[in-house]
A and B are shown apart, each in its own frame.
Chain A
C-alpha cells in the first residue's frame, strides 16, 4: 500500500496542485468553447483541430514578429477562422455537425504538417522554437500565502485569463439576457425566433467564440507550456475537453470540475518516477475516476434539446 501512501503524500504538495491547475486550464479553455457552442445548439467536436491550428499559427507568428502577445492574438484568430468554417458548414449549409467537426480535425492535422514542411522545410520548427514565451506571473503578496499562493498565484498568465473567462462564461450564460438567448436558441430555436431572436447570428457567434477559446488554448500549449510546435501536439486534448463538457452537464463550472480531475490525474501521472507502480496503471487513473463519478454521482446528463439540429425556419 506504499503506492496509495505515495499518492496521498503527493496530494499534500503545492507542486502537484500547481501542475494540476495548469494542466486543467489547457482543457478548460476548449471545454468552455464547447459549452458555449453546444448551448446554442451546434455540436462541436472540432476543438482539437481548432486548438492545433491555434498552436501552429501562434508559433509561426511568434517566430515572424517576435511578439508573444501578437502571436497569441494570431492563434486566437486562427482558431476562430477554423470555427467559422464549422459554423458556415453547419449553420448556413445545415450539414451534419459531427461530420463537419471530424473534417476540421483531420484538415487541421494535415494542414499544419503540410505547412511546417512548406514554411520551414524539413528543419525541425519545434527545435527552433518560438522566440518569446507567454510569461509566468506571480501576483505580489498573494503568492506568499503558504500553499494557496503557489497553486493559484504563481501561474502562467493564461491560467489567470482562463479562470477569469470561466467566471465570465458562467455569469453570461446563466445571469444575463445574452445567456438566456443563447440557451433559448439551443433549447427551442423556433420559440426563440418567434420572440425576435436571430437564431443564426447567435449560433454563429457561439461557434466562433468556441474557436477563439480553443485558439487561446493552442497558444498556451505551444508558446506557454511546450515552447515548440510538434505535429499533432494537442494529442487528443480537444476530445478530452469534449468529455469534460459532457461530464460537466454543459455548464462551465461542471466542465471545470471535470478538467480538474483530468488535470490532477495528469499531474499525478507525471510523478511516476517516484510512485512505484506500473506507469500504465497510473495513466488510467483520471479516466477510471471519471467513469466512477459518471456512473455513481453525476447521473444522466442531457444535452441542450436542439443540440446538433440545424435550424430551418418554420419547419417544426
Chain B
C-alpha cells in the first residue's frame, strides 16, 4: 500500500517536471522546407527574461528572422545540466546554426560541436572548450566576444566626471561596482569602469564587490547597501538579474546607479546610464554570415570600433549630460576608436 503510494508520488513529480520542461520551449516548429536556414538558440540559466544578454540574443534572432526569412527557435536552460541536451537537440535536427549564449556554456558547445562537425555553432562570450577549459579551435565554431571594457570605460567616464564635478549629493569621491561572479566578462566591465573613472578623477576610490550570484536580487542589494554605507554614490551593476537589487539599493538611498548589458533605464529611476554589450548585433552578424555563406570559425570581436559595445544615457538628472562631461565622453570614445586609448581587460590595482 505504502510502496504504491510512493511510486504514485514519483510519477506525479516526474509528470510535473515534464510539464515544466515542455513549458520552456518557445518558438514554432514549422515544417522544414529545403531553402529555409534554421537557427537554434540555447540560453544559459539566466533565461530569456533576463533583460540582458539572453534577451538581446533573442532580439538579434528575431531581427534576423524578419530580415532573412529564417526559421529561428529558442530553448531555455534551467540548469547547467540542460546545456548539452539542448544544444544536441538542435544539432540532431540538422540546424544550420546553433547558438549558445554565455560563457557558462563554453564546455557544452565544445563537446557538442565536436560531435556534430557538419553543424555550425556560435557561442557568445566564450569559445568551445574541452573539460579543462582549453580552446578546441573547432572549425565549425565561431566565438562572438566583446570588449566589455570599452562599454565599462564609457560609464566610468560619466561616473568619474560626476564625482569630479561634485554632482553627487555627498561629494564623497567614492563609486563602486557590484559584480556577479569574478569571471572575465564581468571583470572586463569593471576594469574599464575603474580605469576610466580613475583617469578622470585620480583621487577617486572605486569599491569592487561580488554577490556570487546572477539571479537573486536580495544578494546584490545587500552588497550595494554595504558599498553605500562605505560612501559609494554611483553603483555600477554587473550581475544580470541579481544586479536589479543593486540598482534598487541606489534608488532607495537617493543615489545613482548604472545598468549593464542592455538599456536598464526603466529598471529603476536611479539608473543614469547603461553600459551596452550589443549581443543582438553579434547574434545578427553570426546569422548573417551563415545566410550569406561567409561563416568563418575563430573569433569575432565586438567593441566600440564596430558598434558592438557602447553606452546609453538613461535617467540622468536634467535629462542630458552637462556639456563638459559630454565633451569628455565623446573625446574618450573617439580616442578608443582611434586606438590612442585602450581600456585594460583586468581590474587595475589600487
A and B: interacting chains: yes
Q: Which residues from chain A sit less than 8 Å from chain B, CB to CB?
A: 13, 15, 19, 23, 26, 89, 93-96, 99-100, 102-103, 106-107, 109-111, 113-114, 116-118, 122-127, 221, 225-228, 230-233, 235, 266-267, 269-274, 279-280, 283
- B207 x A273 contact (CB < 8 A): yes
Is A233 a contact of B215 with CB atoms below 8 Å? yes
Residues of B228-266 at the interface with A, using a CB-CB cut-off of 8 Å, are 229-230, 241, 244-245, 248, 266
With A103-B16, A125-B49 known as contacts, the answer to whether A270 contacts B222 (CB < 8 A) is yes
CA distance A235 to B78 in the complex (A): 13
Chain B residues contacting A15 (CB-CB under 8 Å) are: 225-226, 229
**Which of A122, A227, A273, A280 is in CB contact (< 8 Å) with B212?**
A280
Tally inter-chain residue pairs, CB-CB below 8 A. 149
B55 within 8 A of A: yes
Is B167 interfacial (CB-CB < 8 Å)?
A: no
B248 neighbours in A (Cβ, 8 Å): 226-227
Asked if B17 and A106 sit within 8 Å, CB to CB, the answer is: yes
Q: A107-B16, A122-B26, A273-B207 are in contact. Are A95 and B5 (CB under 8 A)?
A: yes
A237 to B10 alpha-carbon distance, docked (Å): 24
Assuming the A-B contacts A103-B9, A126-B49, A279-B182, are A270 and B226 also in contact, with contact meaning beta carbons closer than 8 angstroms in the complex? Answer: yes
Q: Which residues of A contact B49 (CB under 8 A)?
A: 116, 122-127
| Alpha-carbon distance between A266 and B209 when the two chains are bound, in angstroms | 13
How many chain B residues have a CB neighbour from A under 8 Å? 50
> Which chain A residues border B289 with CB–CB below 8 Å?
none
Residues on B with beta carbons closer than 8 Å to the beta carbon of A279: 182, 209-210, 212
Q: Is B23 an interface residue (CB 8 A)?
A: yes
CB-CB < 8 A to A226: which residues of B?
216-218, 221, 244-245, 248
Q: A230 vs B221: C-alpha distance in the bound complex, in angstroms?
A: 14
Q: Which of A13, A26, A124, A270 contacts B50 (CB 8 A)?
A: A124
CB distance from B271 to the nearest CB of A (A): 12
* CA–CA, A228 and B264, complex, Å: 14
Give B215's nearest chain A residue, CB to CB. A230
Complex contacts, A107 vs chain B, CB 8 Å: 13, 16
**Of all chain B residues, which has the CB nearest A121?**
B49
> DSSP majority for the B interface?
helix
B207: chain A residues within 8 A (beta carbon): 273-274
Interface 1/0 per residue, B6-23 and A, CB below 8 Å = 100110110011011001
Chain B residues with CB under 8 A of A102: 13
B2 part of interface (Cβ distance < 8 Å) = yes
Residues in chain B within 8 A of chain A (CB atoms): 2, 5-6, 9-10, 12-13, 16-17, 19-20, 23-24, 26, 47-51, 55, 58, 78, 176, 178, 182, 207-210, 212-213, 215-219, 221-223, 225-227, 229-230, 241, 244-245, 248, 266-267
Taking the nearest CB of chain A, how far is it from the CB of B138, in angstroms? 31
How far is the CB of B105 from the nearest CB of chain A, in Å?
18
Closest chain A residue to B2, Cβ basis:
A94
Query: Quick one: given A19-B222, A235-B216, A272-B209, are A113 and B78 in contact (CB under 8 Å)?
Result: yes
Cβ of A218 to closest chain B Cβ, rounded Å:
12
For A95, the chain B residues whose CB sits under 8 A away are 2, 5-6, 9
Q: Which of B26, B50, B176, B218 contacts A221 (CB 8 A)?
A: B218
Minimum C-beta distance from A187 to chain B (A): 23
Q: What are some 18 contacts across the A-B interface (CB < 8 A)?
A: A13-B229, A94-B5, A99-B6, A103-B12, A103-B16, A110-B19, A125-B49, A126-B241, A127-B244, A226-B221, A226-B245, A230-B217, A230-B241, A235-B218, A266-B222, A273-B178, A273-B223, A279-B182
Nearest-CB residue, chain A, relative to B223: A270
For residue A102, which residue of chain B has the nearest CB? Answer: B13
Q: Which of A117, A230, A233, A279 has the most CB of B within 10 A?
A: A230
B5 touches A19 (CB 8 A): no
In contact, A273 and B12 (Cβ under 8 angstroms): no
B50, B55, B213, B229: residue with the most chain A Cβ atoms closer than 10 Å: B229
Question: In the complex, which residues of chain A have a beta carbon less than 8 angstroms from the beta carbon of B230?
Answer: 271, 273-274
